[in-house]
Amino acid sequence: MGVHLCIFLSLVREIILEHENQHPIGIYLKIWALLFILSALSYSVDYFHFQGYLRWSLIIIFMMLKAGLIIAFFMHMVWERVAFIYAILIPPLLLLTLVGIGVLEGGYTFLTRNIFFGN
Amino acid sequence: MSETHSINSEVIPPPYTGPEAFVSDWSSDQTAFKNVAWGKVMMWIFLVSDTFIFSAFLISYMTVRISAVEPWPNPSEVFALTVFGEKIPLILIAIMTFILISSSGTMAMAVNFGYRKNRKVTFILLMLTAILGASFVGMQAFEWSKLILEEGVRPWTNPMGAHQFGSVFFMITGFHGTHVTIGVIFLLIVAAKVYRGDLEHARPGFFTGRKGGYEVVEIMGLYWHFVDLVWVFIFAFFYLW
């Protein structure tokens, strides 16, 4: 996913490098509006009681879009050089390993709790 | 932002895209991160380390929630508020989300006006960001006291279900709230510097002999947007899941 983000970022960069010297304020207002819409959408996931995989996938999609917009535009990542983008965005991918370990460990604990303390 | 600083007189190669650019910058002389102020690099490195801290919290929350035998309290109901006799789920959290996003918007514009050397507008936007941040902390204080005093949630127990809910809630939102509070203080300091014109005249700050320029506002902005970014993940995984 991070790799996709990097490719996405370098594509957007080429479009945006044209106004490198002064970002028009309009970009920030548009991103702001998009973030508002996405937040409203993720809130409505709860408000309309979506459940199960639909709920989880919608939450993740809206979350990733919001995070991507904040990093890319508010934190100026699209205007940075590739060397810097890679150095900052690739190391956190290691966390996926920790997620994997956590899922295994959590499932195991749940199982043993049910065997030894369950009814 | 290339208009800001060309720190050394080194010739900066044009930005290619893709892995070639990564290899050529990293294998070049003197600096790997060309065109980036060192303070900004340091802030980003701090933010990456902070990412690992918050991720450790969120991942342990995931582990604890997977392994909980009792049902997890439904955040949608726990954080519902009764407004005009009608119970609206998660409404306070939604308002807090919108406030934090708005503060990120004003911050991003403050950075932009800073580089345009528009002191007055930068100052106003920074103060606006600080006010929005402070109101976020205020709402969080309200939320905490409601949960502690009215609902009886404690780090070790709660009446709604799995006991781990309380410790996870206080740990994650508490750590995030601390970040917001520090950010508000940091914002007020930067706003004062902007107002006095310290950045324009590159006067050193009070912690350091380092001369400041408008990249200070951008560095402040990175921290603030990061706090907003963390909230995006907390909102999704803790409140909505």
Chain B nearest-CA distance from A1, in A, is 16
Interatomic CA distance for residues B132 and B110, integer angstroms: 14
* Model-wide pTM > 0.95: no
Q: Output the tens digit of pLDDT for each of chain B's 241 residues.
A: 444 444 445 566 666 677 888 888 888 877 888 888 888 999 999 999 999 999 999 999 999 999 999 999 998 888 888 888 788 888 899 999 999 999 999 999 999 999 888 999 999 999 999 999 999 999 999 999 999 998 889 999 888 889 999 999 999 999 999 999 999 999 999 999 899 888 888 777 666 666 668 888 999 999 999 999 999 999 999 999 8
Task: Check B240 against A99: CB less than 8 A apart.
Answer: no
Burial of B139 (0-12, 13-18, 19+ CB in 10 A): middle
Query: For residue B113, which of B21, B8, B208, B194 has the smallest C-alpha distance?
Result: B194
Show me where the domains of chain B are located.
Answer: 1-36, 37-240
Number of inter-chain CB pairs under 8 A, A vs B: 169
Chain A nearest-CA distance from B237, in A, is 8
What's the number of CA atoms in the CB half-sphere (13 Å) around residue B116?
A: 15
Q: Which pLDDT belongs to residue A11? A: 60
Q: What CA dihedral angle connects B150, B156, B157 and B158, to 10 degrees?
A: 40
Q: Which pLDDT belongs to residue B1? A: 44
Query: For residue A65, which of A85, A42, A49, A88 has the smallest C-alpha distance?
Result: A42
What is Dmax (Cα atoms) for chain A?
68
Q: Determine which of A5-19, A68-82, B99-113 has the lowest per-residue pLDDT on average.
A: A5-19
Architecture (CATH level 2) of domain B37-240 = Up-down Bundle (1.20)
Radius of gyration over every alpha carbon of chain B, rounded to an integer in angstroms: 21
Structural domain of A68: 2-117
Q: What CA dihedral angle connects B172, B174, B180 and B186, to 10 degrees?
A: -120
Q: How many domains does chain A have?
A: 1
Interatomic CA distance for residues A22 and A32, integer angstroms: 18
Residues in chain A within 8 Å Cβ distance of B232: 63, 66-67, 70
Searching chain A, which residue's CA lies closest to the CA of residue B12?
A: A81
